[in-house]
Structure 1
Amino acid sequence: MSDQPPRDGSNAQRLLLLDGHSLAYRAFFALPVENFSTTTGQVTNAVFGFTSMLINVLRDEDPTHIGVAFDLARKSFRTEQYAEYKANRSETPSDFKGQVSLIQEVLDALKIPYITLENYEADDILATLTTQAEAEGMQVLVCSGDRDTFQLVTDNVTVLYPRKGVSDLGRMTPAAVTEKYGIAPGQYPDLAAIVGESSDNLPGVPGVGPGFASKWIQQYGSLDGVVQHADQIKGKKGEALREHLADVIRNRQINGLIRDLSLPIGIPELVRRNWDRDAVHRLFDSLEFTVLRNRLYEYLEAAEPEAESGFELDMRRPGPGELAGWLREHASGSEPIGVALAGSWSRGTGEVTAIALSTLSGATGGHAAWIDPASLDLDDEQVLAGWLADPTRPKVLHDVKGPILALAARGLTLDGVVSDTALAAYLIRPDQRSYDLADLVLRQLKRELRTEEPDTGQLSFDDAESDNAAEALMLRAAATVDLNEALSGELTASNGTELLADVELPLIGVLARMEQAGIAADTDYLAELQAQFAAGVKEAAESAYGVLGREFNLGSPKQLQAILFDELQLPKTKRIKTGYTTDADALQGLYAQTEHPLLMHLLRHRDVARLKSTVDGLIKTVSDDGRIHTTYNQMIAATGRLSSNDPNLQNIPIRTDEGRLIRRAFVVGKGFETLLTADYSQIEMRIMAHLSEDEKLIEAFNSGFDFHAATAATVFGVEPEAVSLEQRAKIKAMNYGLAYGLSAYGLSQQLRISTEEARGLMDGYFERFGGVRDYLQSLVTQARRDGYTATVLGRRRYLPDLISDNRQRREMAERMALNAPIQGSAADVIKLAMLGVDEALRTSGLKSRLLLQVHDELVFEVADGEREAVEELARREMGSAYQLSVPLDVSIGVGCDWNEAGH
C-alpha cells in the first residue's frame, strides 16, 4: 500500500499525523460511557471513537505515511517555565484511564507507529515531524483537536480539526485560518497569546477576543509590534493590554511549538504498512468491535497473505448417473470430505438449494463436485442420500447444525460428521466473537474465498460456461476440509480434540432435534398477556403523570434528569456525560433512598414495558405448527454455556410473579401428557466444593440441611435451625457470588450494605472455608502461569490479559479466571447430561422428548404413561453425568405448562 499514490492522482507522498491524546479525549466525551463497554466491564468509548475516526480518515485521505503522537504526562518543559500551565484541568476521568493504552494496542495491530518523548507534548512531536516532512516535499495532514496546531498550516500542511466529536473534521488550510481569524497561520500563536487559552490555563487580556487581537496584529505586523506599540493603543482594551503584557509575553513563549526535537523515529519509519489480520482479530474480539472490524475490512487493505502454493481444485458438476462414480472415485475412503450447503435454515427447519463436496486440495490438487438436489433423478438421489447418511464416510462441515436441519427438511440424514471447523475454532479461541469461514480460511490457509470468478489459472472447470455460485460453493467445501487439517494441530494443543469429538459434535444432533421439536405455545394466552401488560404500561405512565401533574416522555433520559434532579431536587445519581444516570439500577437505589412515588411508577413502567416487549417477541416467533422453535448456539459464551436466540428462551423471567406468567404460555403439546422439568440444584457450589476440596463445604452438602443455611450456620457460628432469613440471604449471595468472581464492592451493592460490612462477611466466610479461599487464590496464580483456566473436562479459556500492563484489563482477566472454571464446568456437566438423556430417550423406545435447555434446567415433553420412566431417566442420567465429590442433586417438576412444571 505504501507504493500507492494518493487519491488525487499526484505522485506526492502524503503524511498523516494524529494527536493521540487530544483525539482520544474528544472521543471519550463524544460517546456515552454507558453505551460502550465490553461484557467484562471494560469501558471502550474512547477507543471506539478514536478507531472509528482513524478508519474514516485513512479511507478518505489515503496517506502514504502515518504516525500518532501521545503525551507522556502533564509535566513538560512548559510546566517548568510556568507551574500553573494546565493546572486548572480536572482529574482524568476514571473511565478514561487505561483507554489510551488500548488505543496504542489498536495502533500496534494496524501497524501504525506512535511516538512519545519525555518532557515534550504531542504537539511538539507533530510540529517536528511536520517540519521534516515538508522539507522533504511531502504533503502533511495533522489531525488534532488542539488549535495550537494551526500555526503549522502552510500550502503543504493542512490541519484536520474536529468540529463535532471526532467524526466531523474541518480542513484548516491557510485560507481557512485567515478567513476565521484574519491572520496568517504563522501568526496564530501571537493571537492566542493575546486572547489566552483557558484549557491550558493561560490567561489572556481581559475583554479582548480574537477580533480585536487580529486587528492589532494586522495593524502592527506581529505580536512584537503590538508589544512595542502597546502605549499607543487607546481605551480600556489598551489599558487591559498594558496591565497584562507580562501574561501575553509568557503565553507566546509557551504556546510556540518546538520543531527540531530529536525523535526516536523519523519519516522513513512512518511509511504506511498493511495491518495484521490476526492481531486485529484478537484485539477486536476482546474489545467486541464487530462493527468496526467490518468497516476495516470494507475500507482498508490488510496484509495480503501469500497465496497458498499448490492449491488446485478440479471442479465438476456430475451429470445424470455420474454421481455414484464421482463418489466412488473421490469419497469412498477414510479421508474426510468437505461438505458445504447453499440454502437457508432457522427455527428448526431449512431448505437446501445446492450441495458441494470436496477432497483435500493437498500438493497434488483436490477434487470437488456440485450437486443440485432438486434436479437429481431417483437413482442419483438415492446415491446421495446413502452417502450422506453413511457413518463410515467421514465428513467435515462448517457450523453443521443448520445444514443438518435443512437436509432433514428434505428427508435427508447427515451422519459421519467427524469435525465442525466452526466448533474447532471456537474451542481453540473461545473468546473470539465470530467464526466466519472466509475469515478463518484467510487466517489459517492464507487463501481468500471469493464469490466472483476465480482465477482460472489455479482452477479447472469441466463446463464451458462457469457458474460463479457453484464454484464459490465448491471452494467453500474445499476450504472447509483444508481448514480442518490446518486446525487439527492447534485443537490438540488446546486440549480440544476430545471435547470436540465426545461433547460438542454429538451435542449438535441433540440441539438439532430440540430445535425441530420446539415447544407448544398458548397463543390465546399470549394475546391476553400482551393486552394485560399493555394496560399495565399505560397505567404506570398515567400514575407517573399524576404525580407530576403533566405528561412527559418516560423514555427520555434528558427529561427525566430535568424532572428528578432539577425540578424535584432528588439526590444525584452517578455522573455521566449527559448529566446523571437514570438507568434502572440507579432509579432503584434512588427509590430505596427516597421512596418518592414518581420513582415507583417509573420503575413499574419499565418492568411492565420489558415484559410486554418479551411477549411481543414471543408472539412473532410462533410457527405455523403452533410451537416456538428457538435456535441454540454453542459458540457464543467463552465459558462453554449454550445460548438461545430468536427467541431467547434462556431470558424468560422467573424471579417475579408477573415474569412467571410468561412461562405459563409454554404448554404441553397435543399427543403428550405433561411437561417435566429437571433442574440441577446449586450446581455451581457443588462444583466449587469439588474443585476446592474444602471439607466444610463438602460437609455442608452432605449434612442434609438446606445448603445455604448450613454454610450460614458455619459462618455465623450458630446451629442451622437458628439461621435467620437475613443471614441465609447474605450467605446465599456470597455462595453464588464467589462462583462469579464477586468482589466485596459487588457484594455490598447486591446486599445494599457497606463495603466494609461486605468485606467482613467475606473475611468471615474465608476463615471458615479456607479451602475455598486457597482454591480461588490458586486459580489466578495458576492461570497467570499457564495463560489459561480449565474446566473439569479440560475446556480452556485463554486469558493473556493476566499479565497486561493495563490494570483494568488485568483485573478483569483475574475476575474471569475466578469465574471460568466453575461456570465452564457447569456448562460441561449440563452438556454431558443432555447427551446422556438424549441417548437414553432414543434407546429406551420412549416417545417423550427433550425440548429445552435453560441454564441448569432441562424441559421434557412427556408422552402418555411415561412420566415415571422419564423422571427416573432424568434423575439417573443427570445425576451421573459427571462424578463429583458431592452428589449432583436433581429437582423434578411436572405440569401442563412450564411455570407449573418449574415449581
Structure 2
Amino acid sequence: MKKLVLIDGSSYLYRAFHALPPLTNAAGEPTGALFGVVNMLRAHLKEAPDYIAFVMDASGPTFRDALDPEYKANRPSMPDELRAQIEPLMQIVTALGLPILRESGVEADDVIGTLALQAADAGVEVIVSTGDKDMAQLVRPQVALVNTMSGSKLDSDAAVIEKFGVPPERIVDYLSLVGDKVDNIPGVDKCGPKTAAKWLGEYGSLDGVIAHAADIKGKVGDNLRAVVDRLPLNRELATIRTDVALPDAYDALAMRERDTEALRTLYARYGFNQALKELDGGAPAAVASEEKLPTPARGFVAAPVATSTGPLDPLLSKPGEYEAVLTREQLDAWLQKLDAADRFAFDTETDSLDAMQANLVGISLCVEPGHACYIPLAHRAPGAPAQLRIDEVLEALRPALVNAHKAKVGQHGKYDLHVLHRHGIDVQGYADDTMLQSFVLDSSQRHDMDSLAKRVLGIDTIPYSDVAGKGAKQISFAEVAVEDATRYAAEDADITLRLYRAQAPQLAEVRALEGVYRDIEMPLVPVLERIEANGVMIDSAELRRQSADLGKRMLEAQQKATELAGRTINLDSPKQLGALLFDELKLPALVKTPSGAPSTNEEALEAIADQHELPRVILEYRGLAKLRSTYTEKLTEMVNPDTGRVHTSYHQAGAATGRLASSDPNLQNIPIRTEDGRRIRRAFIAPPGRKLVACDYSQIELRIMAHLSEDPALLRAFESGDDVHRATAAEVFGRKMDEVTANERRAAKAINFGLMYGMSAFGLAKQLGVPRGEAQDYIALYFSRYPGVREYMERTRGQARGQGFVETVFGRRLYLPYIHSRNQAQRAGAERAAINAPMQGTAADIIKRAMVSVDAWLNEHRDHALMIMQVHDELVFEVDAAFVPTLTEAVTTRMAGAAQLRVPLVVDSGTGENWDEAH
C-alpha cells in the first residue's frame, strides 16, 4: 500500500520553538525551532513515503475570521526569534525535496484534512504528522496521527477514545464544549475534558447536549446555558474542512530530487552536525531525539565525556526506586540515611520560577544512585493524601542542611538555596553542582538536566510537561498528584547524584578544569545567591518620568519619519519600511536577509544612514522604543512586593566564555555610552543614609592581551601607567606621547580593541571613516610595533586548530566547534573567537575570583555594606555613607589582587546617590 505523509509545519514550528531551549549557531542566529523541525523531517524521510507534503498556514485571514472576528484574536504576535527561523526552514524543506503547501483563505489543518481524506478514499495509507489535538477528528481507517516529536500515535477509534474519552467523530463536539484558549474559542466555563466526554457519552452529540441543557444541574449547568447559543459557532470553527479546492491532488506530492549542496551549506551554517554527517555519507542518523548540538572539531583533546550510548559506570543507568514520604516514620528513616551519608543530592519543588517569591511544595533527597524520595508538603490536587507539616519537615532536615561538613549536590542549586533561605534555612556545605560540572567540562554543550541525563547517562528523564502540562493548561506543581510528583521530583534528585558520580572523575582527570570548578565556579554560587537576594532599590517615579519622555520623543521621531516619507508609515513594520526605503526611495540594499531579501535591521539601516535622513530617524525610534519597553516600563513591574527591590538573576552557565549573564532584568544590556542609558542607571538608587559605590576594572582585556602576548612594548605601556591608547598611537605613528593628536589616539584605541575582536581592515576603515588602504596601513604599523601581539594571535589560532579549544590563564577551556569548518565564514568566526575568548574568559575568571574574595571580607561587615550588582567588569555596592572609604579601599585592593598578571590590574571607583553618579 502506498503511503502519504502530511506534515503540519505550522504546529511543529511553534511546538519546537517553545519546547527547545533558545539555541543559536556560531553566528548567534536562533536555531531552536529549526533544530526540532529538521530532526522531525529527517525521521520521516527515513521511512521513504511515496508522497509527502510540508503544510504551512498562509498569511492573511481565513474563512474562520469571517465567522468570528475574535477567532485567534488573543494569540500574541510571532516572536522575532521564531520569525527569523521561518525562511531558513523553508530553504531546508525545499532543498530536501519536500513540496510546500500554503493555501490562502484556509488553515493548514484544512489542507491536510482535504488531502488526507482524498488519499484515504483512494486506498492510500495516510500519516498526519502533527501535535495538534484538533486533528484527532480525522482519524479513521487508513488515516493515523503521529506526533513525531513525542512519539505518540492515534491510529484507531480506540486510541482516540483512550486519550480524549470520545471517538473521532465526536472530537469537534468535544472541542466545542471544552473550548480552546489558544484559538480564542470560549468553551463552557468549568467544563473540562472529563465533563465534556461525560456529557457526550450521555447525550450522544453536541446537539444532544444543547437539547438537554436544561437538565444539567449545578454551576456547570448554569455555565452551559449561558453559552448554549454560542456552541454551534464553536463547532463550525473547530471543524476541519475536507473539501478545499486545491490546485493539485495528493498524487502530485511525490518527493523531488534533493539539493545536496544547498543542504550541506544550510546544515553547516546552522550547526546540524549529525544531519551533515548523514548527508556526507556517514552513519545513518539516529532517532530524531539523538541529534546533537555542534560538537568540537576533529582532533580536540578533552576529558572523556560519556555520550548517549550510556554512562561510564553501568550502575548509573539502572532504573530508580522512588518513595513518597508521607509519615514521620518514613521521614525518620530518611534522616538516618542522611546522617550516615557523607554526601547527598537534594532538590526543591515550588509553585513559581521566581526564587524570590516561590513557595515550597516539596523536597526530594537521594543518598545513593537509584534510591530517592520525595517529601510532599503542599500538594492540593483532588484526593491528595495527608502530608507532613512543612515546619516539622524543615526542622527535621535543618541539621543535615546546615552541616557544612556534609556535602550537598544540586543541579542549578542556586535556585534551591534561595528557596530554602526564604523558608528559614541557610544551606551550608553546598559542594557540587552538576550544571556547573558540565559547564566547566564543555561550555558549548547544553547543561539542563534533561540534556545532561541523555548525554551523560543515556537516560530519558520525565519532562515537566508530562506531570504539569504545558502552555495555557499548565498547572502549578502544587496541583500535581503526589504519585506523579514523586516520580518526577525524586528522579531529579536521583539523576543529580548520578550526574555528579559520572562527571566528577572527568573533572579530576584535568587538573586545570578541576581548579576552575572548585576554586572559581562553586565558591561563587552562594555569593551570587546573596547578591540576588540583596537586590537593588529602584526610583519608580524617575522611571515614569523617563518613560514619558521617551514616549514623547518616539512620537516626535514618528512624526519626523512621516514628514520624510511623505505619508504615514508604521516604523515597527519591516515590510513597510523595506518597501519605502528600497522600492520607493531607491536606497541601496546593502544588507540582505538569509533569503536574499533587503534587510531593515540595525546593521542595514546604519549602512545607508549617510545616504538619507530617514534610516537615522528609524534607528533613533527603535533605540527609544527598546529602552522604554525593556527598562523604563518594565523595571517598575519587577519590584518585589515583599522587599521593595528588584532582584536580577545571574547565570553562571550562560556565556561560553564564562562571563556572567543576567535576566529579569538584564543589567548587562543597559547602554553606558548614551545619555539615555545613563539616565536609566540614575533610577538605581541607594536608600537614605547609604551610597552606591561602583568599582570597575580598567582596560582589563587589553591588560590580559599584554599578559598573554608578552609583547615588550605593550607590557611597558601598562607598567609605566601611561594612557595605553596614547602610548599605542605614539608607537604606531612614531610620535612623542605629548605630540599624539586626538584623532591618532582614537585610531589607536580602535586598533587596540578591534584586534582583540578580530576586526578587519574593512571594519577599522568603517569605524574610523578612512579608506580601507589607510586602515590596513594602520594595522600593519601596529603589528610592526607590537610583534608579540601578532605572534600571540598566530600561536593561538594554531593551538585552536590543533586541539579544538583555547584556554584562559586559569585553565578554563573554550571549545571551538567550527575551527575546521569547510564554511569559510564559520571558520573565520571560530578563529576570531580563538583570539578573543582567552581574554574574555580570563576577565570573567578574574572578576569571579574577586567577587568570592570581596564577599568573604563582607561577611563581617554586612550591616554596613552589601554587594548588589555585577555588570561586565564592574561590582556595585550599597554602603553606609560613613563606611564608604573603608569599603572602597578593601574592595579595590581585593579586585586588584584577584590575579597576578605581567601587568598590574587597575581598579577605578566612584560613589554617588545612584548608579550613574557612582559609575
Counterpart contact for 2:691–2:879, Cα < 8 Å: yes
Residues 1:383 and 2:396 are matched in the alignment: yes
- For residue 63 of structure 1, the aligned residue among 42, 47, 55 is 47
Structure-1 residue corresponding to 2:577: 560
Q: What is the CA distance between 1:285 and its match in structure 2?
A: 11
Aligned match for 2:371, one of 353, 366, 372: 366
- For 2:412, the aligned partner's letter is D
Match of 2:287 in 1: 275
Is the contact between residue 65 and residue 272 of structure 1 (CA under 8 Å) also seen in structure 2? no
Check the 8 A contact 2:372/2:490 in 1, yes or no.
Answer: no
Q: Secondary structure at the match of 1:550?
A: coil
Deviation at 1:504, TM superposition (A): 0.9
Identity level (%)? 34
CA distance in 2, matches of 1:578, 1:273: 30
Question: How far apart are the structure 1 equivalents of 2:744 and 2:809?
Answer: 31
Q: CA deviation at 1:722?
A: 1.3
Q: Is the 8 A contact 2:800 2:806 kept in 1?
A: yes
Counterparts of residues 74-223 of structure 1 (less than 5 Å): 176=252
1:338 corresponds to: 345
Match of 2:454 in 1: 442
SS at match of 1:475: helix
Distance 1:387 1:307 in 2: 26
- Change over 3 Å in CA distance of 1:851–1:170 after alignment to 2: farther
The question of whether the paired residues in 2 share the 8 Å contact of 1:16 and 1:63 is answered with no
Aligned partner letter, 2:603: D
1:146-186 deviation digits (Å, cap 9, x = unpaired):
xxxxxxxxxxxxxxxxxxxxxx9999668659xxxxxxx9x
What is the match of residue 444 of structure 2? 431
- SS of alignment partner, residue 686 of structure 1: helix
CA distance in 1, matches of 2:531, 2:894: 17
Distance in 2 separating the partners of 1:380 and 1:561: 62
> Per the alignment, in what secondary structure is the counterpart of residue 508 of structure 2?
helix
Q: Distance in 2 between matches of 1:566 and 1:513?
A: 55
Q: CA deviation at 1:620?
A: 2.0
1:446-845 correspondence runs (5 A) = 446-450=458-462, 467-493=483-509, 495-576=512-593, 577=595, 579-592=597-610, 594=611, 596-614=612-630, 615-624=632-641, 625-670=643-688, 672-844=689-861
One-letter amino acid of the structure 1 residue matched with residue 660 of structure 2: L
Listed one character per residue, the Cα deviations across residues 375-413 of structure 1 (whole Å, up to 9, x for unaligned) are 337665323112111111111111001111111111111
| Compared CA separation, residues 599 and 444, structure 1 to 2 (3 A) | closer
Partner deviation per Cα, 1:116-159 (whole Å, 9 max, x = no partner): xxxxxxxxxxxxxxxxxxxxxx9999xxxxxxxxxxxxxxxxxx
Q: 1:797 to 1:713 in 2, by over 3 A?
A: same
Structure 2: any 5+ residue segments left out of the alignment?
A: 14-21, 53-83, 97-123, 128-243, 257-280, 298-307, 379-386, 468-480
Cα-to-partner distance string for 1:643-676 (whole Å, 9 max, x where unaligned)? 0111101111111112211111110024x42000
Partner-residue secondary structure (3-state), 2:900: coil
> For the structure 1 residues 866 and 667, does the alpha-carbon distance in structure 2 shift closer, same or farther, using more than 3 Å as the test?
same
Identify the residue that residue 354 of structure 1 maps to in structure 2.
362
Q: Do the aligned partners of residues 424 and 549 (structure 1) sit closer, same or farther apart at CA in structure 2, a change above 3 Å counting?
A: same
Map of 1:327 onto structure 2: 335
How far did 1:890 drift? 0.4
The 1:103/1:780 distance shift into structure 2, 3 A limit, reads farther
1:16 deviates by 9.3
Task: Give the deviation of 1:38 after TM superposition.
Answer: 4.5
CA distance in 2, matches of 1:600, 1:174: 50
Aligned to 1:880: 897
CA distance in structure 1 between the partners assigned to 2:616 and 2:757 by the alignment:
30
Kept after mapping to 2: 8 A contact 1:65/1:270: no
| One-letter amino acid of the counterpart of residue 557, structure 2 | A
Q: CA deviation at 1:703?
A: 2.2
User: Is contact 2:376-2:482 (8 Å) kept?
Assistant: no
- For the residues of structure 2 that align with 1:502 and 1:169, how far apart are their CA atoms? 68
Cα pair distance change 1:390/1:704, threshold 3 Å: same
Contact 1:533 1:609 in 2 (8 A): yes
Once the two structures are TM-superposed, the CA of residue 786 in structure 1 deviates from its matched residue by: 1.9
Letter in 1 for 2:335: L
Structure 1 SS opposite 2:792: helix
Q: Secondary structure at the match of 1:639?
A: coil
Q: Report the Cα distance in structure 1 between the residues aligned to 2:283 and 2:862, rounded to whole angstroms.
A: 70
CA distance, structure 2, for counterparts of residue 429 and residue 586 of structure 1:
35
Q: Is the 8 A contact 1:441 1:449 kept in 2?
A: yes
Once the two structures are TM-superposed, the CA of residue 799 in structure 1 deviates from its matched residue by: 1.9
The aligned amino acid for 2:361 is: T
| Distance change (3 Å), C-alpha of 1:378 and 1:307 | closer
Alpha-carbon separation, structure 1, partners of 2:249 and 2:533: 64
How far is 1:734 from its partner? 1.3
2:295–2:817 contact (8 Å) kept in structure 1: no
Q: Secondary structure at the match of 2:328?
A: coil
> Is the 1:389–1:413 Cα contact (8 Å) retained in structure 2?
yes
Counterparts of 2:508 and 2:391, CA distance in 1: 42
Q: Does 1:315 align with 2:315?
A: no
Mapped partners of 1:272, 1:638: distance in 2: 30
Q: Which amino acid aligns with 2:507?
A: L
Query: C-alpha offsets along residues 833-857 of structure 1, whole Å, 9 cap, x if unaligned?
Result: 1111111111356520100000000
Deviations 1:743-771 (A, max 9, x none): 33332333333332222211111110011
Q: Matches of 1:678 and 1:607 in 2, distance apart? A: 28
Say if 1:687 and 1:822, in contact at 8 Å, map to a contact too: yes
TM-score, normalised relative to structure 2: 0.66
- Aligned residue identity for 1:283: P
The code of the aligned residue for 2:685 comes to V
- Provide the residue aligned with 1:41 in structure 2: 27
Mapped to 2, the partners of 1:659 and 1:767 lie a distance apart of 38
Superposed CA RMSD:
4.1
Q: 1:429 to 1:309 in 2, by over 3 A?
A: closer
Q: How far, CA to CA, are the matches of 2:353 and 2:499 in structure 1?
A: 23
- Deviation for aligned residue 1:610: 2.1
Counterpart of 1:415, as a letter, is Q
Q: Residues 586 and 466 of structure 1: is their aligned pair in 2 closer, same or farther, counting only changes over 3 Å?
A: closer
Distance between the aligned counterparts of 1:307 and 1:394, measured in 2?
22
- Relative distance call for 1:652 and 1:368 in structure 2 (3 A) is same
Distance 1:762 1:357, change over 3 A: same
Shift of 1:694: 0.8
**What is the rounded CA distance, in whole Å, between the counterparts of 1:835 and 1:394 in structure 2?**
19
Partner letter of residue 372 of structure 1? Answer: L
Deviations 1:193-232 (A, max 9, x none): xxxxxxxxxxxxxxxxxxxxxxxxxxxxxxxxxxxxxxxx
Name the CA shift for 1:588/1:832 in 2 (closer, same or farther; >3 Å).
same
Distance 1:447 1:332 in 2: 29
> Please, which of 418, 421, 427 is the counterpart of residue 414 of structure 1?
427
